[in-house]
Structure 1
Amino acid sequence: MLTDWINEHNIRIIEHTDNWQSAVALAVQPLIDVGAVESRYLQAIYDMHREIGPYYVLGEGIAMPHARPEEGVIHTALSLVIVSGGVTFNSEENDPVYIIFALAAIDSHSHIEMIASLSHLFCDDEVVEKLRGCRSKQEVLQTIRQY
């Protein structure tokens, strides 16, 4: 379940952020804080974005920034930022982004259940819309509890 990974300590709800870099930094910071990733993990995401574009914008309004395990992942973890006003990631078809799940995976298979839960959530437009409108951490946890 996503609530095995997402809790009050790794959820941020903000109204606005200046750019995609600050949005990604806000999402990755809880992973750094709990020791799931080294600080260089954030730079690896920035570097990949510059090289190949917003590869982690998965659909309309949803992003899942991540980098390769060897870029500083210590253990698998997840965090969530909701940007109520949205933020541009330069992903033409999917901007603005409102929901940002930062993912750290220790390898290519240990996080499969987490990804499966996230994909179920992403496919439910009603839940995505509800999540986008959440204004409290408790509301977020209630919304994702079924996944």
Structure 2
Amino acid sequence: MNNMIESVKKLGPYIVIAPGLALGHARPSEAVKETSFAITTFQNGIKFGNKDNDPVDLVVILASTSDTAHLSLLQKIVTFLNDSKNLDTLRGATTHADAVLIANKINGGNQHESS
């Protein structure tokens, strides 16, 4: 996480990739235990300093253990985010079940909820 924050401080709000949407990721790191992603929504948007796409109400963070895993998961996430219906789904998610369905869709059905 610190690597991502430092990158934004150094390079600016490059992670804000569309109106209201930020996609944060950094190079694979030994600090990452398992390739994964996190998604959060904000009721009140956050200003990252991107005049065209602020405020951001949807943040997706990607952490990975290797270059191969990073590129694979990044491709899945970008494919998911390219569908505006999926952005609406993310913004409307409120339950654990919603989160599981979203993870399943991003992972192509490979993510299962544990009992």
Fold match (TM-score > 0.5): yes
Partners in 2 of 1:56 and 1:115 — Cα distance?
13
Overall identity of the aligned pairs, in %: 25
Counterpart amino acid of 2:77? L
TM-score by length of 2: 0.74
Structure ranking higher in strand proportion: 2
Alignment of 1:1-147 (within 5 A): 42-70=1-29, 72-147=31-106
Partners in 1 of 2:70 and 2:3 — Cα distance?
19
Q: Which moved more, 1:136-145 or 1:108-117?
A: 136-145
User: Could you say which structure has the greater relative contact order, defined with CA pairs below 8 angstroms and 6 or more residues apart?
Assistant: 1
Using the TM superposition, give the Cα deviation of residue 132 of structure 1 relative to its aligned residue in structure 2, in angstroms.
Answer: 0.8
Gaps of 5+ in 1: 1-41
Using the TM superposition, give the Cα deviation of residue 71 of structure 1 relative to its aligned residue in structure 2, in angstroms.
Answer: 7.4
TM-score by length of 1: 0.60
Structure ranking higher in helix proportion: 1
Tell me how large the CA RMSD over aligned residues is.
2.2
